[in-house]
Amino acid sequence: MSTFLGMPATRAGRGPSPDAAPGTLGGVGRPEDPLHWGATFPHAAKAALANEQLRRNLGNATSTIRSKRARVVGEVPDWEALRDAGSAIKTDVMARLPELLEALERNVTARGGVVHWARDAAEANRIVAGIVREKQADEVVKVKSMATQEIGLNEALAEEGIAAVETDLAELIVQLADDMPSHILVPAIHRNRTEIRDIFLERMADAPPDLTDVPHELAMAARAHLRRKFLSAKVAISGANFAVADSGTLAVVESEGNGRMCLTLPETLITVMGIEKLVPTYRDLEVFLQLLPRSSTGERMNPYTSLWTGVTPGDGPQEFHLVLLDNGRTKVLADEAGRSALHCIRCSACLNVCPVYERVGGHAYGSVYPGPIGAILTPQLTGEKSDLPYASTLCGACYQVCPVKIDIPSILVELRAREVELAGSSPDAADRVWKAAMKAASYAMADGARFRRAARLPRALRAISRHGVIRRLPFPGSLWTRSRDLMEPPRQTFRDWWAEREDDR
Amino acid sequence: MRIALAATCIADAMFPQAPKAVVTLLERLGHEVVFPAAQACCGQMHVNTGYLAEAVPVVRNHVRTFAPVADGEWDAVVVPSGSCTGSIRHQQKMVLERAGLSSEARTATAVSARTYELSELLVDVLGVTDVGAWFPHRVTYHPTCHSLRMLGVGDKPERLLRAVEGLELLPLEQAEGCCGFGGTFSLKNADTSAAMLDDKVADVVGTGAEVLTAGDWSCLMHIGGGLSRGGTGVRPMHLAEILASTREAPVHPGDRQEVAR
Amino acid sequence: MSDARTEILSRIRTALGSSTPEPGTVSTAVPREYRSLGDHAPGAAEVLDLLVDRLEDYKARVHRVTAADLPALLARLLAEVPASSVVVPAGVEGAWLGALADVEVRTDSREAPLSATELDGIDAVVTAARVAVAETGTIVLDGEPDQGRRAVSLVPDVHVCVVRTDQVVQTVPEAVRLLDADPGRPQTWISGPSATSDIELDRVEGVHGPRTLHVALVS
C-alpha cells in the first residue's frame, strides 16, 4: 500500500504541538493523523513539563489510581495465575488468528449480524459512514473506543455531515474542548475539575449557568445533556473490549451506563474492533473480566459490562454491524519480537505506573496510544521512524503491572534496535554522532587492554573539577551538567589499583 | 569461595571505591577475590540504546572473560550492579543468538547462571546478612529499578543494611520510583530525566539522611549529581562501601579512599 | 484490488509464517491454575456476607429478606423513591408486587416492548437476576423473561434487583461457567449503580444508568 491510514504519504504539517494552545480552553486540536502528531517526544515532553497545572493534575490522578489498583489486585490470591492464563490465551489467539476470525465471522453472521473487513482507517471510515448514511442519520452516539480514535472516525463522519457525539464523560470533555485524549482509560486525565467546569460552561449549550466544579454536579450536567440524545439516536457506534470467537459474543466494559445506552437503545449498532481483540471461547472471559477492571479503574468489577451476540429479536439493536480492522495490526503481528504488543487489553495500568508518563502526560507521545504501551504499539502500527522507543528509562514498572504480561521493556529495546537500523542511512547529524560514539565505545569496551587505557581518560576532567565535582561541561556533556553535577573522576582506575596491589604481593 | 569480580566499566573508570569495597568485604568474610583483567563491559549500554551489532564484541568479551566460572574455576561471579547483572542475565544470550553465535550464547547462559549481584551473592549464596560492618550514619536506600524488577533482589539490601552496627536506616518516600537515569535516556530525554531527578532528590532530602545508598553506581552518579547540584550535602555511596566499613577501617561518607590499600 | 477479507487473512497468514498451527489445535497450552471454584458453596453464609460487603462498598443498597417479606420490602423501597410508576419484565412473579399501593405497574416484554421514551417516564424497575458474584459485587442479568429487555433495567432511574441466595457464587469463573450454557443471551453485568471516575479519578456514583441500585437478597 502506498498510503497509510488513508492519509497522504507525505505529512507536511504534523498538526499542532502540545505547547501550542489553540482556543481558550487549551485543547490541542484534532490532528490529521491520530497515530503521529505534535512535536518530537523530547520537545513535547519539555513543553508538558513546564506546565505546572498539568503535572499536578497527572501526579494526583496517577497516584490515586495506582493505589486503587494495588489495593484491589492485592485482594486476589491467584492474580499471578490469572496473568499467566491471560498471557497464554492471547499468545494462542495470535497464533490462530485467521481461524478464530473466521469463526467469529461465522457466529456473528449466524446470529443476524453483518461482518465487514477494513484494511485501513480510510476503508473502515467509509464502511461506517456508508451504514450511517443508509440509515439517514445525521447524528450518531458513540461509546468510548480506542479503535475509532485511532482511525479518526469522528472527523471522517463530520466530513460526511454526520455528527458523532461522544458519550463517555471524559471523551465528551475532550470533544467539547477540541482536544485529544491523553490517557487510554481516562482521556481527560490532564484536566482538573475547574477546567472541566469551564469547558462545560463554554461549550455545552444546556449546561446550568451556576455549574460548580463539584464532580457530582459535572457528571449530572453531562447526564442531562446526553439523555435526549440517547433516547432519540438511531445509530450507535462502539468499540469492543473482547470478541468471543466460538460464540460470536461481543463485550463492552464501562462504568457510566453510556455504553449500555448506546448498545441497547438505537436501532442500529456499529462496532469497530481491531482484529486482535479476540478470545477463543466464552469461558476465557472468566480470566479477562477479572484482569481488566482491577488493572484499569482499580475496581473489583466495573459498574457495567454488556455482552451481546448478533441480534436478539425484540431486545436491543435490530441491526448489528461488526467492522474488523487491520490498520497496521498485521505489521505488528509480523514481528515476532514485538507481536505481543497486540495482547494489550487497553487497561492503561502501564500508563499509571510509568514515571515518564506521570510527568509528561499523554499528549507528548503524539499518538492516541500514549505511555509505555503506546511507545511500543504506535511505532509498530505505523512502521515509521519514531523517538517513542526511547521515551522510557526501562525501569520495568509497566511489565510488572501488565495484566497480560507484555514485556514492554524488552520490546522497547527491540524497537530501539530497529530505530538504529532505520537510522543507518540517515543523514541526520545526531544519528551519525550517536552511531560514531557507539562504535568507538564498542571498540574500547570489547577488550581489557583497550579499556584499561580508555578508563584512564576521564581523569583529565579532574583539571576542571572543584570540590570534587564538575559543574559544567561543553556539549554533549552539557546535557548531563545542565541538570546535575558530574562527580570528579578518580586519580586511579580500579584496574590500575588492582594491578598495583597484585604487584605488591 | 573463589569469587571473580566483574567490576563494571562505570565503576572501574569512575567509582573504583565500589569494587575496592567489594574486595575488602569479601576478603574480610574469608573469600578469595580474583579480577580477570580481560574484562571491560557487559554490553548493557549498547543493548539498551539499540546498538545490538556494536554490543556483540562487548558481550563476547565479557562471556569469554568469565567463561571459567562455568567450568568451575571460580565459584561465582559478583557484580556490584543490579542493572549490569540484569543485562548479563537477560540480554547477553539474546544478543549472541541474534548474531548467530549459538555456542557462545550457551556459554553466556552458563556464565549468567553463576553471576550474582552483590546482595544476592551475600544473602543467597554466602548466606550472610550481618557482614560485621560498622557505619554510624543516617542512611536511606534507593532500590534501583533493575535490581528491584529485573533481578527481584527484594529486601536483601535492606536486610544487609539493617545488620550494620550504628547505621540508622531511614525510609525513602516513593522509593520504588525510577530516578530518571535510564542510561542514554538521561541525554536523549534530558528534560524528563531532570524532572524525575528533582523528585527523587526531594524525597532523599526529605529523609534527613546523610548518605544515599544503592546497588548501582550508575543511578547513584545521577542522583548524586543532583544531590550535589542542589547543595544538599547528602553523599551517595554504594552498598558495598557501607558494608566494607568497620570500626577498625571505617569508611566515611563520600570518602573515595584514594590512597587506601 | 482483492477484497478486504481475503487480503487481511492473507496478511495475517504471511505475518505468522510457519508459526500458524493446524486449525482446531490450541497452539499454546493455557495454564489455568487460577481458582475456578470459591472456598464456599453458592449461597453459603460467607458468600452472602461477602456479596453484601462488596455491593455496599460500591454504593448499592442491600436488603436481606425472606420470600414472604419481599412484597413488603418492594413496596417500601418504591414508596421511598417515591415512585408513582414501576416497570417489570413480563416474567416477574406477580406476587412480588402484591403489596404495592398507588404505584402504576407497567409490564414489558420482547413481544410488547415499551419505547425508550416511555421507559424514561417510569420511576423504577424491578427485575430478577441470573447469577451474582460475591467477590466482585456483581449481578448478571441475561435477558430471560424475569429479567427483561436490556433497556428496561437501564432507563428508569431506580433499579431494584431481586437475587435469590442460591444464585450467589463466590468467584467470577463460577458465574462464567454457569452463563456458558447460553452465551448467546444478551447479558448485563451490574456492579453497583452507574459511576464515573473521569474527573480526577474521583468516583462519582450515578451517571447515565440507574443512579440507585437496590438489591433484595431473598432467602
Which candidate from C14, C25, C149 shows the least CB-CB separation from A314? C149
The SS3 of residue C108 is: strand
B45 domain residue, yes or no: yes
Count of beta carbons in the 10 Å neighbourhood of residue C72: 12
pLDDT attached to residue A183: 94
Are B50 and A416 an interchain contact pair (Cβ–Cβ within 8 Å)? yes
User: Any CB–CB contact under 8 A between A285 and chain C?
Assistant: yes
End residue of a domain, out of A295, A327, A359: A327
> Which of B47, B60, B228 is closest, CB to CB, to A485?
B228
Contacts of A77 in chain C (CB under 8 A): 35
| B155 and B90 assigned to the same domain | no
The answer, yes or no, to whether C and B have at least 3 beta-carbon pairs within 8 Å is no
Claim to verify: residue A312 and residue A453 sit in the same structural domain: no
Hey, is the C-beta of C56 within 8 angstroms of any chain A C-beta?
A: no
Best of C197, C202, C203, C211 to disrupt the A interface (most A CBs within 10 Å) is: C197
What is the model's pLDDT at position C2? 67
Is residue A45 assigned to a domain?
A: no
Same domain, B95 and B14: yes
Q: Is the confidence at residue A74, as pLDDT, over 50?
A: yes
pLDDT at A15: 42
User: What are A374's three cell numbers?
Assistant: 503506546
User: For chain C, where are the E strands, in sequence order?
Assistant: 61-65, 85-89, 104-108, 124-128, 131-133, 138-141, 158-164, 168-169, 187-190, 195-196, 204-205, 212-218
Per-residue pLDDT, averaged over A267-283, amounts to 98
For chain A, the maximum distance between any two Cα atoms, rounded to a whole number of angstroms, is: 93
With H, G, I as helix, E, B as strand and everything else as coil, classify residue A328: coil
Closest chain C residue to the Cα of A332, Cα to Cα: C15
Considering only CB atoms, which chain A residues are within 8 Å of C176? 282-283, 285-286, 289
**Which three three-digit cell numbers place residue C4?**
478486504
Q: Which residue among C12, C34, C206 places its CB closest to the CB of A97?
A: C12
Task: Spell out which residues of chain C touch residue A99, defining contact as CB-CB under 8 Å.
Answer: 23-24
Q: Using the beta-carbon criterion (under 8 Å), do C149 and A316 form an inter-chain contact?
A: yes
Among A99-108, A433-442, C116-125, the minimum mean pLDDT is found in A433-442
- For chain B, say whether A505 makes contact (Cβ under 8 Å): no
- Average of per-residue pLDDT values in chain B: 96
Nearest-neighbour CA in chain A from C115: distance (Å): 9
Residues B152 and B227 in one domain: yes
> A88–C172: do the CB atoms touch at under 8 Å?
no
Q: Which residues are CB-neighbours of A259 under 8 A, at least 6 positions away? A: A143, A144, A168, A238, A252, A253, A304, A306
- Cite the DSSP H helix spans in chain C: 4-16, 45-57, 70-80, 116-120, 172-179
pLDDT of residue C201: 81
pLDDT-based confidence at residue A2 (cuts at 50, 70, 90) = very low
d(CA B114, CA B112): 5
Identity of the amino acid at A129: A
pLDDT confidence of residue A3: 33
**Does position C45 have pLDDT exceeding 50, yes or no?**
yes
Where does a domain end: A327, A343, A372?
A: A327
Cell of C50: 461477602
pLDDT at C19: 62
Given a cut of 90, is residue A18 above it in pLDDT?
Answer: no
What is the pLDDT at residue A476? 84
Q: Answer yes or no: do A161 and A295 share one domain.
A: yes
Q: Do C183 and A96 touch (CB under 8 A)?
A: no
B255 in any annotated domain: no
* Per-residue model confidence as pLDDT tens digits over A210-220: 999 999 999 99
Average pLDDT, chain C: 94
Q: Are residues B61 and B96 in the same domain?
A: yes
**Cβ–Cβ below 8 Å for B189 and A391:** yes
Cross-chain CB nearest to A490 (options B37, B195, B256): B256
| Residues B162 and B81 both lie in one domain | no
Q: Is pLDDT of A12 > 70?
A: no
Q: Nearest-CA neighbor of A323 among A162, A118, A119, A156? A: A118
- Identify which of B58, B181, B192 has the shortest CB distance to residue A442: B58
Residue B9 corresponds to which amino acid? C
Q: Which one of C58, C196, C204, C212 would you mutate to disrupt binding with A, by most A Cβ within 10 Å of its Cβ?
A: C196
Neighbours of chain B (3+ CB pairs under 8 A): A
d(CA A5, CA A368): 14
- My answer on whether B85 and B161 are in the same domain is no
Residues of B in contact with A435 (CB under 8 A): 51
Q: Is A80 on the interface with B (CB under 8 A)?
A: no
For residue C1, is pLDDT > 60? no
Separation CA B178–CA A395 (nearest Å): 6
Judge whether A380 lies within some domain.
no
A407 within some domain? no
Given B43, B57, B197, which is nearest A483 (Cβ)? B197
More confident residue, B243 or A421: B243
Does pLDDT of A5 surpass 50? no
Instruction: Please indicate, yes or no, whether residues B174 and B238 belong to a single structural domain of this protein.
Output: yes
Residues in chain A closer than 8 A to B182 (CB atoms): 392-395
pLDDT at B255 over 90: no
Domain span holding position A244? 76-327
Q: Do A487 and B19 touch (CB under 8 A)?
A: no
pLDDT at A486: 96
Residue A183 lies in a domain: yes
What value does the mean pLDDT take over residues B31-51?
97
Is A50 part of any domain?
no
Domains held by chain A: number: 2
CA–CA min distance A306, chain B (Å): 36
Q: Is the CB of B178 less than 8 angstroms away from the CB of A397? A: yes
Contact: A480, B187; criterion CB under 8 Å: yes
- Segments forming the whole domain that contains residue B174: 138-244
Same domain, A444 and A323: no
Together in a domain, B116 and B150: no
Residue A21: band (very low, low, confident or very high) from pLDDT cuts 50, 70, 90: very low
Which contacts (CB < 8 Å, 24+ apart) does range A216-219 have?
A: A216/C204, A216/C206, A218/A169, A218/A193, A218/C199, A219/A169, A219/C196, A219/C199, A219/C204, A219/C206, A219/C207
Residue C205, pLDDT score: 86
Q: B257 lies in a domain?
A: no
- Chain-chain contact of A444 with B40 (C-beta, under 8 angstroms): yes
CB–CB contact A484 B197 (8 Å): yes
Closest-CA distance, A365 to chain B, in angstroms, reads: 13
pLDDT at B158 over 80: yes
Please check whether residues B149 and B171 belong to one and the same domain: yes
State the average pLDDT over residues C167-178. 98
Whichever domain contains A142, its CATH number is: 3.40.50.10420
In a domain, B259, yes or no: no
Q: Is residue A39 part of a domain?
A: no
Q: Could you say which of A303, A327, A351 is where a domain stops?
A: A327
- For B20-29, what is the mean pLDDT? 98
Strands of A299-350, DSSP E: 304-309, 319-325
The total of other beta-carbon atoms located within 10 Å of residue A116's CB is: 21
Best to test chain A binding among C10, C117, C207, C211 (most A CBs inside 10 Å): C207
DSSP for A163-222 reads EEEE-SHHHHHHHHTT----SSS-TTTT--HHHHHHHHHHH-TTS-TT--S-HHHHHHHH
Same domain, B61 and B97: yes
Domains contained in chain B, number: 2
**What count of Cα atoms within 13 Å lies in the side-chain half-sphere of residue A232?**
9
**All residues at 6 or more sequence positions from A373 whose CB lies less than 8 Å from its CB, including other chains:** A184, A341, A344, A346, A348, A350, A351, A398, A406, A408
Indicate the burial class of C121 (C-beta count within 10 angstroms; 0-12, 13-18, 19 or more).
middle
Chains A and B form CB pairs within 8 A to the count of 214
C-alpha cell at A159: 466530513
CB contact under 8 A, A497 and B182: no
CB-nearest to B182 from A42, A394, A483 is: A394
Q: Do residue A99 and residue A241 come from a single domain?
A: yes
> Which residues in chain A touch residue C180, judged by CB atoms under 8 angstroms apart?
282-283
* Domain presence at residue A155: yes
The chain A residue lying nearest B12, using CA atoms, is A494
When pLDDT is averaged across residues A39-57 and rounded to a whole number, the result is: 94
User: Mean pLDDT, chain A, as a whole number?
Assistant: 93
Q: Name the residue of chain B whose CA is nearest to A364's CA.
A: B192
What is the ipTM metric for this complex? Answer: 0.96
Q: Which residues of chain A make contact with C23, given a CB cutoff of 8 A?
A: 96, 99
- Cell numbers linked to B224: 548524586
Q: Which of B12, B60, B178 is nearest residue A455 as measured by Cβ atoms? A: B12
A231 and A95 both lie in a single domain: yes
Of A92-96, B108-112, C121-125, C195-199, minimum mean pLDDT range: C195-199
Question: What per-residue confidence (pLDDT) applies to A28?
Answer: 86
Nearest by CB: C113 against A92, A169, A314:
A314
Query: Which domains occur in chain C, in start order?
Result: 38-218 (3.40.50.10420)
| C218–chain A nearest CA distance, Å | 22
> What per-residue confidence (pLDDT) applies to A22?
45
- Write the DSSP assignment of A7-38 as a string of letters: B-S--S-----TT---STT------S-TTS-S
- Measured in angstroms, the CA of A486 and the nearest CA of chain C are apart by 39
Q: Are strands C187-190 and C138-141 parallel, antiparallel or unpaired?
A: antiparallel
Q: Which residues of A34-64 are buried (b: 16+ CB within 10 A; e: fewer)?
A: bbbbbbbbbbbbbbbbebeebbebbeebbeb
- pLDDT at residue A29, as a whole number: 87
Cα distance from N-terminal residue to C-terminal residue, chain A? 71
Q: What is the mean pLDDT of residues A289-318?
A: 97
Residue A318, min C-alpha distance to chain B (Å): 50
User: Which residues does chain B have within 8 Å of residue A501's beta carbon, measured at their own beta carbons?
Assistant: 261
Pair B192, B78 in one domain: no
Give 3-state DSSP helix, strand, coil % of chain B, rounded to 5. Answer: 50, 10, 35
A 421-450 residues inside an 8 A Cβ radius of B: 434-435, 438-439, 441-448, 450
Beta-carbon contacts of A30 under 8 Å, excluding residues fewer than 6 positions away, are: A152, A154, A155, A178, A180
The answer on B177 and B113 residing in a single domain is: no
The domain spanning residue B170 has which CATH number?
Answer: 3.40.50
Closest CB to C8 among A275, A302, A306? A275
Q: Please report, rounded to a whole number, the percentage of residues in chain B having pLDDT higher than 90.
A: 97
Rg (CA), chain C: 21
- The answer to whether residue B258 sits within a structural domain is no
Which of B125, B158, B193 represents a domain boundary (last residue)?
B125
Interface contact B57-A446, CB threshold 8 A: yes
pLDDT over 70 for what percent of chain A? 95
Q: Three cell numbers at B114?
A: 553463576
Q: Is residue A410 part of a domain?
A: no
Phi and psi for B170 in degrees, rounded to 5?
-105, 135
